[in-house]
Chain A
Amino acid sequence: MGNPPITIPLQGGRAVIEPIARHPGALDSASKLIMVTSVASDSHTWNLVFLQILLEELGFPVVNLGPCTPDDLIVEECRRLRPAVLVVSSVNGHGHIDGRRLISRLRRDQDLQDLRVVIGGKLDVTGGADPTLSRTLLDAGFDAVFSGDAAPAELQRFLSELPPKALANGREDR
C-alpha cells in the first residue's frame, strides 16, 4: 500500500491501476464467483487475462470465458455457474452493439434476475467521444459501465462498494 498509481497504455488505450486497497468489511469476496467474458465479435484476450489477474488479486474466484463468446454460451454459463457478477470486456469498438444485445438476453432470463452485469473497455469507435454511450448501456440493463483511463480502478471501487448482501442476493441497492 502507499504506492503511487501507475498509468500504462493497454491495447491502444490506457489503464490506471490504483494500488489495491482492501476493504475487509465490504469485500466478502472469497465465495463470490465473478465471470469474465468478451462478446461474440471480439477476439482480443489480453484485456480478459488482465481482468482475471486483477480480480483474483482482489480475492474473487474467477471463471474466464475468453474471447469471441457467443450470447448463448454466456447465458448458458451464467445459468450453470451462477456468478455474482458478470464482467463484460470488449476493446474492438463493437462492444456497445454486442453488449446491448447480450444484456437484453440476460435481463429477459427469469433465473438470472440477481445477476449483476457490468461492461467496460473500448466500447465504440469514437474513443470515448460519445457522451450518451454509458447512459444507453445503463438503460439497456447494465449495472455499471466503465470506460477510459480509470476503468480498472472504477471496477475495483464498484466491487468493493457492493455490500456483501448485494453480492449474494441481488440488486436492491441500484
Chain B
Amino acid sequence: MNSSMELAEPLSDTSFGGFVAAAKAAGDLVVQPRMGFATVDQMRAGLVAVKNARARVTGTITLDSYTRVGLHRSARRALDNSDELNGYPLVAHGPVVTRTMLDGVMDDTFPVQIRHGAALPGEIFLTLVAAGVDATEGGPVSYCLPYSRTPLHVAVDAWARACEVLTTRTLQGHRPHLESFGGCMLGQLCPPSLLVALSLLEGLFFRQHGLHDISLSYAQQTNPAQDTEAIHALRVLAEELLPDMSWHVVLYTYMGVFPGTELGALALLKESARLAVRSGAERLIVKTPAEAHRIPTVAENVRALEIAAATAQAEREAASAGFGQQPTAVRDSAVYQEARTLVEACLELSADVGTALRTAFTRGYLDVPYCLHPDNANRARSVVDPQGRLEWLQTGSMPISPSSGTGSTSQLQAAEFLEMLTFVSRGFDARALNPRPDDRQDGPRRSLTP
C-alpha cells in the first residue's frame, strides 16, 4: 500500500522509523504517551513502566518549560532545590546522565522520542544526539507560531541548523527520525486542510535539510469522517510530494479542551484509536482521563496506552479486507484539494522551503486561525458547522475559499466561540451520561459495529 516504504532504502530495525514500519507490517498500531519527569529516577521508572505496557509502544521523554525556552540554569536550580518541573530537563542533566538514565531501557524493542516544544531547539538537539537518542519532533512553524514570540525567520534558521545536527551527529549506524508537529497547530479549531498542508511543508523542510525518515502528524478534530478524509489526503499527498522519503503518519488524540468525565475522556481516546486504524495512521499519541484536571501519573498513562492498543486491535479485526484508501476518491475530497492548493501556493514562492514558508506567512497565503503570533496574518477564521465538521468561515489571503454552508461572513460571537472550543468535550461528556456499548469496556473486546 505504502509505496514510499518500499522505495526508500531499507531501514535498520533499530531506528525509530524501522520500529514503526515493522509494527505496521505486523498489523499493530504503535502507541505512545506524553511523559516527562524532573529526576533521572522518575524518568527511568516511567519509561520502564511504558516499555512493559501490554501494547506496541514507543517511549517519550517530554522536556520541561524552562528547557523549552532555553532557561537551563533555572532548570538546574529547580533540580538542586528539588522543585517540581513539568518535564525532564534534558540540557541541565546533560548527555552523560541522560545516556546512563536510558541504558538498558531504550533499545531495539523500545525506541524513545524526545518531545520538547522549543522554537529554538539547537541545544536540545545537540544534547539528545550526544545522549544517543535519534528521534525527536517539532518544526520551524509548529513550534514557533503557537506558543512563542520568536520571529518566524529566526525559528526557520534555527531549525535548519538543528536538522543538520541531527543528520550529521547521530551515531554511526543510527538513522535519525524527525516528526513534524504541523498537524497539531493550536491543538484545536485549525481546519484539517491547513493541518495537512503544514505537516507536509515541514516534512519538505526536513527533507531539504537532510532527513530521510520522518513522520507527519495530524491531531484528531471534531468529526471522525472529516478526520479520516484528512489523514487519507495527508497520505496521498505524502506519496506524491515525498516519494524518496520514509515516512509514517502519527495521529494525536484530541488536543483541545478535554472531557471532564472519565467515561467521556475514555470514549474520546478510543475514538482516536479507531480513527488511527480506519485512516491507516501508524502511530498514536494518547491522552488520559486525567488530562482535563492535571498531569497524568505513570499508571494512568500505561492504562491509556493499553486501552488504545486494545481498541485498535478490535477495530482492525472488525474491519474486513478491501478497507484501504482509494487514491482517486481521496483526490476528489475538499481537504485534499485545499491542502494541495496551500502547499503549492507556498512552494511557488521559493525553491528554499524555509524562505517559502516565511513568505507565505508574510503574505497570508498560510494563515492559522486565531493564532496571535506577530508573523501570522490572523485574518482566517474557522467554525464548527452543525454536522460537527471544522470548516473555514474566513480564509483571509489564503488561496482557498470559505466553506459553503458556513453561512454569512457574520462576526463570531463570544458565546458561540466558547461553544466551539468545548464542542468535543461537551459531546463526549454527554455521552458519559448515555454511553454506547463500546464506551463501557476497557479491555480487549470484539468491536461492535454501530
Contact = CB atoms under 8 A, between A and B. Distances in A.
B337 interface: no
A152 B414 CA distance: 10
B186 to A, nearest CB: 7
Contact of B425 (A9, A15, A17, A65): A9
Interface in A28-45: 43, 45
B412 A9 contact: no
B292 A8 contact: no
A46 B421 contact: yes
A10 B421 contact: yes
A147 to B, nearest CB: 17
B241 interface: no
A9 B370 contact: no
Contacts of A161: none
A54 interface: yes
A57 B425 contact: no
Given A9-B425, A46-B421, A53 B412 contact: yes
A173 to B, nearest CB: 26
A12 B292 contact: yes
A45, A65, A68: most-surrounded residue (chain B CB, <10 A):
A45
A45 B370 contact: yes
Given A50-B414, A53-B417, A64-B372, A9 B147 contact: no
Interface in A1-39: 6, 8-12, 15, 17, 19-20
Contact of A10 (B146, B257, B371): B257
A71 B14 CA distance: 47
B414 A53 contact: yes
Interface in B284-312: 292-293
Range of interface residues on chain B?
Answer: 20 to 34
B149 A68 contact: yes
B148 interface: yes
Contacts of A69: 149
Contact of B418 (A15, A48, A66, A68): A15
Contact of B414 (A17, A46, A48): A17
Nearest to B291: A12
Contact of B372 (A49, A56, A152): A49
A57 B411 contact: yes
B413 interface: yes
B413 A57 contact: yes
A54 B415 CA distance: 8
A47 to B, nearest CB: 10
Contacts of A10: 257, 418, 421-422
A50 B411 contact: no
A67 interface: yes
A169 to B, nearest CB: 28
B411 A56 contact: yes
A50 B257 CA distance: 14
Contact of A54 (B146, B293, B414, B421): B414
A67 B417 CA distance: 19
B431 interface: no
B66 to A, nearest CB: 10
10 contacts: A11-B257, A17-B414, A19-B415, A45-B371, A48-B372, A50-B417, A53-B414, A56-B411, A57-B414, A68-B149
Given A8-B426, A46-B421, 13 more contacts: A8-B422, A9-B257, A45-B147, A49-B372, A53-B412, A53-B413, A53-B414, A56-B411, A57-B411, A66-B372, A66-B374, A67-B149, A68-B148
Interface of B: 146-149, 186, 257, 260, 292-293, 370-374, 411-415, 417-419, 421-422, 425-426
Give the top 4 A-B pairs by smallest Cβ distance, nearest first. A66-B372, A54-B414, A43-B147, A17-B415
